[in-house]
Each structure stands twice: as structure tokens, then as C-alpha cells.
Chains A and B, each alone.
Chain A
Amino acid sequence: MSRATPHLFQQPLRASKVPVFYTNKVIESYAAKGSTPISLKHLINFGKGGRNKGEKEEAEKLLKGGNFLRTELPTRLSHRLRDLQELPYIVASNPRMAHVYDLYLEAFEQIRRFPVIKDLEDNDRFCEFMQGTLDKHRVVIPDLAIGVSESSPFHLPPQDLDTIMVRMLRSRISRRVITEQHIALTSQFRERQRSLDKGKGREVDEQRVGIVDTRLKAAEVVRRCEELIRRRGGAEATVPIRLEGMLEDEFAYIDEHLEFMLFEMIKNATQATVAHHGSEEAKHHPITITIVHGPRDLAVRVSDEGGGLTPYGGLPPPPAPSFPLLAPGSTVADFATAQRLDIFSFSHMRRYYQHHAAQDEAQAAALASSSPSSPAGALESPDSAPATGAEGAAPKPLTGIMALRTVGKLAGTVKEQLAVERAREGQVLTEEDEVLRDAQMKSGIGLPLARMFAEYFSGTLEIFTVQGHGSDALLKIPKFGIESWASTERR
């Protein structure tokens, strides 16, 4: 078996003396191929299909899956590389964007040169390698968010910004899903093999197929999110949460995704409630969470009494009269009163970033002239609502994506965070953990990301607001949805 080591590209690619311009042929040839959309049903059936037949068939399926990844991932990466190449020069050459590009290029080259997977050992090696890549790419979201926010204000109109971010992130989610699914299936397979060796027999875990939980209860996910909020403490923990609707129904979904979305929604609701009513009153204004299972979809509504949202999330309205999210044709309804809020958009995130960057600059200037601070507080986005209060003299915590800038990665999943909090049991948070936690809380990227996750399997996440009273966040996800990113692809 001749296996070339997949480490040809250990040295940084950009260091190459050959100008990038002339080395693009391979990328282009891959990018000419279409990618294969995958449905949730497909993920489940592929996983179950092998499992139910027996070890040999399952191993074959795994090899097939691994080789599919080996060819599919470079194709999908090549599309993103082409996307990045199309960005305005100044945006693409921003150090953070360049870093993302390098990571993608490296992954592209490594995966496409990975030798064909012929047996389970090959597959294990591939999984190990892919896990490493996944970990390495954790910085991509903050990098993209900050890079784009820093570099693009004069070069990317809001609509283009949203398009590129949506494409990058959706594709990223989908790549991670198929990769993680393969890794999880492999490890589940190995797990069963081990228990077989111990003579316990082939126990088939019916509920989990890879990363998909086929008997997921939305109510349980809500309770997990609730527990995390309670354990984190603060005024947010006192906001009562009422659950109603069809609490016992089960469905199949990637539980990590549902957790992320619901946690964002519930966290925002608690923050808004505290910000609107103050930490004393908040316990009298419950959040109502309604779970409804339809024949084809699941709907979760998080309804709070947090005073509602202003159309621009507390920021001054953008100067240009172009609001891409305003439904076309509604010429009469002006944006100030329309329900369509732009807090989901990445252009909002960019304005949010710039707003805070300007504010920090002003503050630094004010400090330099040794006058006491500070104007903050007045303009808080719903994402970062309750920054006022306790931290008076302490070094001002960074808000917005600025905070992500120092941290450089996003916090873990709800389950991971919950494990950390449970282990902590009342002990003080380490500073690093705190920064990490606050960074994500206040980055303004939570909602756009949550919507990405919702839309990934053709769901929707919307917020409707009663200004002056409260907001309703409504998440709808189809059961057995299909990857929706195909519609936003290049071709």
C-alpha cells in the first residue's frame, strides 16, 4: 500500500514564490463541479442503513462516506475560495480574511491529496486528520466577522456583504455537518466494535445516528438552555420561563444546532427583560415558550415582555436608504415601523462593530485627555442589552465583535458550557472563561448565526416585535429538511 504522507503543505502556502495568480487552475477545475446537497433524511438513512445490516456493511458504508468527503469537501472549499477571490482586493487582503483564505486553501490542498480510503485504518487516520482541521478552523467565524467588518464599509454594500457572509457561513455549517457526521459515525462504529470485543454483544444505539438525535425533545433542549442561564446567575437567571404546547413530541434533528438557536433566543429574551424592567422587576415578567409540532415542521416561539426591539437594534439608522430586508413592493411602509428588523443581517453586525469601534476610540481619546468617561449605555443593541451597571470602575469590557477580536473563538456548545457550569458549582469563573462568555454574548453575531443554523435545513428564524411591550422570536424547522445552501450557490 503506497500511502504518501498528506503533509506536503506544512509550510505556509503564501510563502511560495509563485504568484497566486498562476496557481489557480486547480481551484478553478474543482470549482467547476457542482456540490451535492444532503438532506437530514439522507444523513440518518446513510447512518442507519449500514448499522442495521451488520458490521461488514457498516464498515463499507463508512469507507464510502469517507471517500465521499474526500472528494466533496475540496469541491465545496474551492467554491468558497473562489468567493473569497471575488471580494474587493482591500477586503480579501485584510489579514483576518487572508488568514481564512489560507486556512481554506490549506484544507483544500490537504484533503484533495489525501489518499483513497481503502480500509478502516485509513478511515481512522482520515477522521483524525479531519478532526484536527475542524479544530483549527474554529477561528474562522470570528475572523470572517471581524475581517469583513473592519475592511468592507466602503467596498461592500450591505446586500453584498450579507450575500457573501451567508454563503461563507452556510457552506461552512454544511461542511462541518457532513464531516462531523462521518467522524461521529466512525466513532460510534468503533465503540460498538469495542463492546462487541468485550462480549457485550452488538448494542445498537437507536437514538443517535452520528450527530443526529432521532428522538429529540425540543422541551428538553429548552430546559437545558434554561439550566445554563440559571447556573450562569445574574439578573437574567431570575426571569421565569413558562413552557407550553406539545412538550412530549419527538423529532429528528442535530441537537447541537437546536441548542444553539434556542439558547440564543432565550438568552436574548432574558437579557431584554432585565434591560427593560430592571433586575428587580424582571422576575415578574415571564418568558413564554411555545412548542408546536406540525406534521411537517416544528415551531418554537419565545415570547418575552422585554419592551420590544427598535428597528435598528438601538443603533442610529443607516444613512443609505437601501434596506435589503424590507420586503420589495412595500413602498409605503417605511422601515421605522415595519416588522422586518435588520438585526439578523451581517450588515447590522458590521454597523454594530463600527459603532463600538468609534465609541471606543472616542473613549480612548477622552481618557487621553484625562477626563472621566463615558457615553456608553445609551446605545445598546438588544444583543448586548444589559452592559450598564456594576462594571463602573473596572476596565470596560469590550463590546461587540471587538470582544471576539481578543478571544478569537466562539464559546462551546450549550452542552459543553453546561458541563463547565455544572462542574464549577458556584466557584468563580476564570477570567478567560468570562471573557469568552461575554464576547459571544455581546458580539452581535449570535442572531445572524442562529438564523444561519435555522436556514441550513430550510427553516426560518424571525423576530416580531411589539415596540414598547415585548418581542416574539419564532423558529420554524422542517422535519427532514434539505440543505438549503444550494439555492445560494454560485451557479
Chain B
Amino acid sequence: MRPSKYLKALPRRPVPLPIAARLVRPYSHSSPLCSSPVPAAAAAPPQFTLPASILPPPPANATPQELLAHYSQMPTTLVKLSDLTRYGAPPLSEEKLLDSAERTRKELLAGLARRVTQHLSLPFLPATNPSLQSIYNLYSSAFFNLTTVPEIKTLADNDRLCEVMEQMVEEHRDNIPILAKGFQETRKYLPPDVITQFLDRAIRNRISLRLMAEQHISLSAASLPALRPSPTPSELPPPTADSAPKEKDPRIEPSARAPSTSLAPSRVGILDLSLSPHQMIHTCADYVTLLCDSTYGVSPNYRIEGASEHVTVGSIGSHLEYILTELLKNAFRATVEYNTPKREEVEEGVFRFEDLPHAHLSKSDLPEVVISVGVVKGVLTIRIRDRGGGVPPSHVASIFSYAFTSVPSVPDPDSDPDSPSNDLYGGAHGAGYYGGVGGGPEGAPGESALQTSVGTIAGLGFGLPLSRIYSSYFGGSLDLVTMHGWGTDVYCVLRVV
């Protein structure tokens, strides 16, 4: 990068010096954590390691840095579907519940420590970005809050743990868009693969953390009434998400569905043992139809084929919901955009009714989106087939990359006008598989041309990579197969119980 870029960049995005000092603010201890002896190797996710519970407990009077160093060296594990059913269906016995609590506490400490150290290993300047800072602060305060929870020995300890975890789950809800904004702004200081790697790990780790926290909160909520038959109001577990206002924006990221249903016999915590794929597809497709209608005034029909509608699987509904919503949004949007007759010379900034797709189209003019469901033992496969023109070959390679690593969303006066990435949005067709990059959950206006013109249906630009991480989390896969000039098939394979 040319040095002049730095100079020009400074006035536009000033880096106030005090921010650098904030790096260590969450702790009263002044020694900079950046130089704390966190071995670099510890940051790499170990593949097959001992369970966290085998590591000896940290010394009683450890300083926060020592705690961080201790826990970040603890091996973290990917959650397996079988882990979620380890304790059987709730209500759990007190012993089992406490065991689950202690295990959750340790795993969370390890995971959070890793998040903090990952941020600390970022280069200095990008690390001072306010968005990344705020994420860092969230994680480090969550970590230190959790260190105040003692080893779980009683139900009261468990209550304390649940309280901390609920706060964490709530506070961290919008992390991904904020991270996206942060990396979008620091794009020029970090190579794309560093960003991609960071995000992949951050998101995977985050899924684990949320899964563990939500699973335990949900198990507790389902078990405590049986363990404490007549609790005084003060002892009641703090109200969980069912009472908390959860205006979830499915655009952003899934979280567990309200644990209020966790008393249903088919539920083990957040795992739904009798999830109906058909019902879920209908829910998501109806939502996307609404989105699509409100954006374009028209939306394609959809059809579900394959497995019978009475088939149920055991899976995590929120994950499936997120994936389906993302994929259907892409399919619907591509279908409408590709099949809209092209108007010549749309005048910029002038609104004309006839430029809107629905001025020319009705539902029956659009080819339907076909969703095929296949269920065999342990595997749920969903294929979403659209006729939205497919993705041009030149874009296929970057389809699963985070959009903001390859597409400039803010017109950057410094950027090379001839750089190929600038016309990534050039072709109208195929754009359906790229989301615009929104600023945050509210979507700062004017951030990208695509977003302003398309509104909410163009997501945050990482629907596909995130969906892939979700579907592969328990050992599934997500494949996108495109026939340019015709349409796209997406195969989502999920491991189910």
C-alpha cells in the first residue's frame, strides 16, 4: 500500500489516541495484556484435544491476565449434537444440572478467553477501530464477569451462572453486524484472508458459545421448577428470553428460539427433537415472500417436494431457520431480478412507477422456487432450486467470501478506479447472490447502492458464508451449484438426530 494512503486516510478516519489506551481498559490492572504471555499456538483451534474439564483449575489468587492466559490455553471443543443430549431430556436431576453448569462454565471461559486473545493478536491500528473495540470490550467484560462465578456447587451458583450467561447472550446479539462494520472499515489495513480467517473462527467459536450458554439456560429453565417446587419469587430464575422483548431480526443472526417451549417433551434444551422441515420451510418462505413483496411488489411462488410433510427431525430450529431464510432470500431475489424485463435507461434519482418490477409482473409470470426435502437416518438435505439466472462464472469463486472483503461498499476516493473489484456489482443478474453490506442492524443509509435499492432483502453480505458455517457446524455442508443463464441450486445438508 502506498504511504500516501495512510496520510489521506487519517483525516477521514481519525484514530484518537485515547482509544489505544482503551485496549486495556476493562481491567484495572495496568499492565498491557498485549504483552501478556499468550502463546501464539494457543490461538489456533486445536482439533482433537482433551476435554476442558481435565485441565487443572487456575490458582485461587490469579490475576486477570493470568486467568486469561490460563483459560486461553484450555482446549475448546466443537459442540457435537450428542453433547446436547448428553444429560437426556429435562427435567434434569440436581446433580446432572450442576454438572452441566460446571461444564458450561469451563467451556465458556475457554471460549471467551480465546475470543479475547484473538482480538489482542490483531495488528494495532485495526484493533483500535471503534466497532472492533466494542466487540472486544463485550468479550473481555463477559470473560471477567464469568470469572466471578465460582465453581458450581449449588443451585444458587447455577442461578448466578445463568444470570451472567443471559446477560452475555443478550449483549452479544448484534456482534456479527458490528464485526462486519469493523472489518469493512479496516479492510485497507488487513489482507482479505486474515479477515476471512478471523471471521470464520470468530463465528464458529461464537456459535459454540451461544449453543452452550443457551442450552444450559434452557435446561435450567426446564429443570428448576421440578427441583424447587415452590420457589419464592426472588429465587425464580431471572426471566429468560421468553419475557425479554426479542424482536429478532432474522437478517442478522439466529439465536435460540424462546426457551419457553423447552418444557415440551420433544425438546432437549434448544434441540428440537420433532422439528418439521416442511413447517420450517413454510415459515421462512412466507417471511421471505413478505420481504420480497414489500421490496419488489411481487414475489415468486414456491413449492415443496420430497419427504412427506409429516416427517420430523431432531435439529436446532434457529440454525435451520437462519439458513433457510438466507437461502430463500437469495433465490427469491434472483428470481425476481432476473425475470424482470430490463428497462432501458433508468434515469438516476427519478422515480417512475414503471421501473418497478411489479409494474410488469405478477406472481404467475415468475418461475417458481422449488424446495426439495430429503430425509434419511441422521441426515436432512434441502435443495433450493431457483431459476434466477445463476451466478456468472467470474463470481462463483467469491460467492462464499464475506462480501465486504471483495466488494467496496463505500465509494472510496482512494481506491483504484480500474481495480476489478469495483465493477463486481456491474452485472445486474447474478447480483442476487451478493448481499449489500449494511452498516449495522439498522443499516446505515446509503452504504451501498444495492441496499438502498433493494431494502431489507439484500442482507448484510454474509448470508451465504454464515449459512455455510451453520450447516457445517455439526458436520453438514452447504454447496451452491449454478447454471449461468438459468438458475441456481443450493444443497444444504444438516446432520440431525
A290 to B475, CA, bound (A): 31
Contact A336-B379, Cβ < 8 Å, known A294-B484, A466-B491: yes
Of B473, B484, B485, B493, the contact of A332 (CB 8 Å cutoff): B473
> Shortest distance in angstroms between A375's beta carbon and chain B's nearest beta carbon?
21
Tell whether A155 is near chain B: CB-to-CB under 8 Å: no
A247 to B489, CA, bound (A): 20
Tell whether A474 is near chain B: CB-to-CB under 8 Å: yes
Interface string of B366-398 (1 = CB under 8 A from A): 000000111110110111000000100100000
Tell whether B495 is near chain A: CB-to-CB under 8 Å: yes
Tell whether A308 is near chain B: CB-to-CB under 8 Å: yes
Pair B486/A337 contact, Cβ less than 8 Å: no
A464 to B479, CA, bound (A): 9
A330 to B477, CA, bound (A): 9
Interface string of B173-195 (1 = CB under 8 A from A): 00000000000000000000000
Q: Which residues of B contact A465 (CB under 8 A)?
A: 374, 381, 491
Q: Which residues of A contact B428 (CB under 8 A)?
A: none
Q: Which residues of B contact A468 (CB under 8 A)?
A: 306-307, 373-376, 379, 381
Pair B483/A290 contact, Cβ less than 8 Å: yes
> Shortest distance in angstroms between A326's beta carbon and chain B's nearest beta carbon?
10
> Shortest distance in angstroms between B446's beta carbon and chain A's nearest beta carbon?
34
Tell whether A367 is near chain B: CB-to-CB under 8 Å: no
Give A338's nearest chain B residue, CB to CB: B477
Tell whether B264 is near chain A: CB-to-CB under 8 Å: no
Of A299, A310, A334, A337, the most chain B CB neighbours within 10 A belong to: A337
Tell whether A292 is near chain B: CB-to-CB under 8 Å: yes
Tell whether A301 is near chain B: CB-to-CB under 8 Å: yes
Give A334's nearest chain B residue, CB to CB: B475
A333 to B383, CA, bound (A): 18
> Shortest distance in angstroms between A247's beta carbon and chain B's nearest beta carbon?
13
Pair A338/B374 contact, Cβ less than 8 Å: no
A34 to B476, CA, bound (A): 43
A15 to B107, CA, bound (A): 71
A466 to B375, CA, bound (A): 8
> Shortest distance in angstroms between B184's beta carbon and chain A's nearest beta carbon?
25
Pair B485/A293 contact, Cβ less than 8 Å: yes
Tell whether B65 is near chain A: CB-to-CB under 8 Å: no
Tell whether B472 is near chain A: CB-to-CB under 8 Å: yes
Residues of A447-491 contacting chain B, CB below 8 A: 462, 464-470, 472, 474
- Count of CB-CB pairs between chains A and B under 8 Å: 100
Q: Which residues of A contact B305 (CB under 8 A)?
A: 469
Tell whether B481 is near chain A: CB-to-CB under 8 Å: yes
Q: Which residues of B contact A297 (CB under 8 A)?
A: 393
Pair B472/A332 contact, Cβ less than 8 Å: yes
Tell whether B43 is near chain A: CB-to-CB under 8 Å: no
A465 to B390, CA, bound (A): 19
Residues of A273-325 contacting chain B, CB below 8 A: 290, 292-294, 296-297, 299, 301, 308, 310
Of B390, B473, B475, the most chain A CB neighbours within 10 A belong to: B475
Pair A330/B472 contact, Cβ less than 8 Å: yes
Pair B383/A339 contact, Cβ less than 8 Å: no
A231 to B393, CA, bound (A): 38
A459 to B382, CA, bound (A): 27
Pair B491/A339 contact, Cβ less than 8 Å: yes
A334 to B493, CA, bound (A): 11
A444 to B495, CA, bound (A): 28
Interface string of A325-367 (1 = CB under 8 A from B): 0000011111011110000000000000000000000000000
Tell whether A245 is near chain B: CB-to-CB under 8 Å: yes
Of A245, A301, A337, A470, the contact of B379 (CB 8 Å cutoff): A337
Tell whether B399 is near chain A: CB-to-CB under 8 Å: no
Pair B375/A333 contact, Cβ less than 8 Å: no
A333 to B376, CA, bound (A): 17
Pair A464/B475 contact, Cβ less than 8 Å: no
A336 to B381, CA, bound (A): 12
A465 to B372, CA, bound (A): 11
Of B376, B475, B484, B486, the contact of A467 (CB 8 Å cutoff): B376
Tell whether B47 is near chain A: CB-to-CB under 8 Å: yes
Contact A469-B374, Cβ < 8 Å, known A333-B475, A338-B477, A339-B493: yes
> Shortest distance in angstroms between A472's beta carbon and chain B's nearest beta carbon?
7
Tell whether B78 is near chain A: CB-to-CB under 8 Å: yes
Give B471's nearest chain A residue, CB to CB: A333
Pair B493/A294 contact, Cβ less than 8 Å: no
> Shortest distance in angstroms between B480's beta carbon and chain A's nearest beta carbon?
10
Q: Which residues of B contact A474 (CB under 8 A)?
A: 481, 483
Contact A333-B472, Cβ < 8 Å, known A467-B381, A468-B381: yes
Pair A337/B476 contact, Cβ less than 8 Å: yes
Of A299, A308, A331, A336, the contact of B486 (CB 8 Å cutoff): A299
A259 to B287, CA, bound (A): 44
Of A290, A299, A467, the contact of B374 (CB 8 Å cutoff): A467
Give A246's nearest chain B residue, CB to CB: B485
A404 to B78, CA, bound (A): 47
A246 to B78, CA, bound (A): 46
> Shortest distance in angstroms between A344's beta carbon and chain B's nearest beta carbon?
15
Of B373, B485, B489, B493, the contact of A337 (CB 8 Å cutoff): B493
> Shortest distance in angstroms between B496's beta carbon and chain A's nearest beta carbon?
10
Contact A294-B485, Cβ < 8 Å, known A464-B491, A467-B376, A469-B374: yes
A331 to B477, CA, bound (A): 11
Q: Which residues of A contact B495 (CB under 8 A)?
A: 337
A428 to B390, CA, bound (A): 47
> Shortest distance in angstroms between B328's beta carbon and chain A's nearest beta carbon?
16
A301 to B381, CA, bound (A): 19
Give A293's nearest chain B residue, CB to CB: B485
Q: Which residues of A contact B473 (CB under 8 A)?
A: 332
Pair A292/B485 contact, Cβ less than 8 Å: yes
> Shortest distance in angstroms between B388's beta carbon and chain A's nearest beta carbon?
13
Contact A338-B483, Cβ < 8 Å, known A333-B476, A465-B381, A469-B374: no
Pair B475/A308 contact, Cβ less than 8 Å: no
Contact A470-B485, Cβ < 8 Å, known A333-B475, A337-B477, A464-B491: no
Q: Which residues of B contact A470 (CB under 8 A)?
A: 306, 372, 374
Q: Which residues of B contact A294 (CB under 8 A)?
A: 393, 483-485
> Shortest distance in angstroms between A243's beta carbon and chain B's nearest beta carbon?
13
Of A246, A293, A333, the contact of B477 (CB 8 Å cutoff): A333
> Shortest distance in angstroms between A268's beta carbon and chain B's nearest beta carbon?
17
Contact A466-B306, Cβ < 8 Å, known A292-B485, A299-B486, A339-B493: yes
A294 to B483, CA, bound (A): 8
> Shortest distance in angstroms between A338's beta carbon and chain B's nearest beta carbon?
5
Pair B374/A308 contact, Cβ less than 8 Å: yes
Pair A296/B477 contact, Cβ less than 8 Å: no
Q: Which residues of B contact A334 (CB under 8 A)?
A: 475
Give A299's nearest chain B residue, CB to CB: B483
Give B482's nearest chain A residue, CB to CB: A299
A310 to B473, CA, bound (A): 21
A338 to B374, CA, bound (A): 14
Of B78, B481, B483, B486, the contact of A464 (CB 8 Å cutoff): B481
A436 to B493, CA, bound (A): 38
Residues of A92-138 contacting chain B, CB below 8 A: none
Q: Which residues of A contact B486 (CB under 8 A)?
A: 245, 290, 292, 299
Pair A292/B484 contact, Cβ less than 8 Å: yes
Q: Which residues of B contact A301 (CB under 8 A)?
A: 483
User: What are 22 A-B contacts defined by CB distance under 8 Å?
Assistant: A294-B483, A294-B485, A299-B486, A308-B374, A331-B47, A336-B475, A337-B378, A337-B379, A337-B476, A339-B477, A339-B491, A462-B481, A464-B489, A464-B491, A465-B381, A466-B373, A467-B376, A468-B374, A469-B372, A470-B306, A472-B489, A474-B481
Residues in chain B within 8 A of chain A (CB atoms):
47, 78, 305-307, 372-376, 378-379, 381-383, 390, 393, 472-473, 475-477, 479, 481, 483-486, 489, 491, 493-495
Cβ-closest 8 pairs across A and B: A468-B374, A469-B374, A466-B374, A469-B306, A292-B486, A468-B376, A466-B381, A467-B376
Other contacts beyond A336-B475, A469-B305: 9, CB < 8 A: A292-B483, A292-B484, A299-B483, A337-B378, A338-B493, A464-B481, A465-B381, A467-B376, A468-B306
